[in-house]
Copies of this chain bind each other. A is one copy, B any other.
Amino acid sequence: MMGYRLFLLFCCVMSIAHASDPLPSWNDSQSKQAIMKFVQEVTQESHPDFIPVDDRIATFDEDGTLWVEQPLYTEFFYVIDTIRRDASNHPEWQHEEPFKTVLSGDLAKMQNFSKQEIALMLAATHAGMDVETFRKSVAEWIKTHNHPRFNRPFAELIYQPMLEAMQFLHDNGFKIYIVSGGGQEFIRAFAKKVYNLSPEYIIGTAAKVRYEYTADGRPVLTKLSQLLFVNDKEGKPEGINLIIGKRPVIAFGNSIGDQQMLEWTQSTPRKTAEFLVQHDDADREYAYGPDSKIGTFSNELKEEANHRRWNVISMKNDWKVIFPWQIRASSKN
């Protein structure tokens, strides 16, 4: 499941760590043991909890679960950069909200945009072009634009321990799906290079599209500004049913947006496992919880996780490293 750039690093790590450890970036704590034990049990044909390959469905939220979501969702940075890029063609944006705030660069104000303001920005940056043109635009951007704190391309801000978990599950016959509140076509634009996942394994919020023909008769699908469905909260089980049609047996999330996906997973009449990533590492990444508008980990979610015996992954205590490039750095020493 490694992106092509990371493949060599991964091999390097594997040779440094115990060759047999599929999760070398995880400390040997409860979270790692829970993943290992689950996979060991459900893939063993003689075990009472054995799951046939056909039903081994694993779902991963993206923002805050597979990569950084602070100080804004990555897709939001794409929106900002695209508005900046196109501003000279839209002099009216200098005076119209939400564009005026975006052009001013006021991050704190942007974190508090209303749903309506976000919809306006999405319409301006995601609609009116065909799906393939949009994907190319995103694919180019994500390689070349850097995160403001880490000063690395957004495509590199993925969590090494989660890449290892995806790879480990994949190697054990699981189908790996991303189930994100973010845009389905946005994620598809880079999923193959970043996560080694083909477009059919990406479930996200989807816009309506219109089938039409270019002047030279070529059919295209034009993205519209209306949404087809919102793949967040109760939308996640709905999106999973729409696209997979089966319930997952293992799921990873990090916020109130993932609660229903984890409930849905746990209701599968099989052995299941549920995980929530807790952002408690301000030094190496971020620390946030109930009060954050992005990636809210409410006290109710914490209670539910406790009550339902979901595994809470502590970034601080469970992960040896956060990002792939940190492995590269340490392997040079």
Contact = CB atoms under 8 A, between A and B. Distances in A.
A188 interface: yes
Contact of A54 (B184, B198, B260): B198
Nearest to A243: B243
B263 A237 contact: no
A245 interface: yes
Interface in A170-220: 175, 184-185, 188, 198-200, 202, 206, 209-211, 218-219
Interface string A111-139: 00000000000000000000100000000
Contact of A219 (B200, B218, B235, B260): B260
Nearest to A55: B198
A74 B242 CA distance: 22
Contact of A244 (B54, B185, B199, B219): B199
B131 A218 contact: no
Interface residues of A, number: 33
Contact of A245 (B188, B237, B242): B188
A237 B260 contact: no
A63 B309 CA distance: 46
B260 A206 contact: no
B245 A199 contact: yes
Nearest to A209: B238
A306 interface: no
B244 A211 contact: no
B267 A219 contact: yes
A204 B147 CA distance: 40
A209 B231 CA distance: 13
A238 B211 contact: yes
A246 B202 CA distance: 12
Contact of A221 (B184, B210, B241): B241
18 contacts: A131-B241, A175-B200, A188-B245, A198-B245, A198-B246, A199-B244, A199-B245, A200-B200, A200-B243, A200-B244, A202-B245, A209-B238, A211-B235, A211-B238, A211-B260, A219-B260, A219-B267, A228-B228
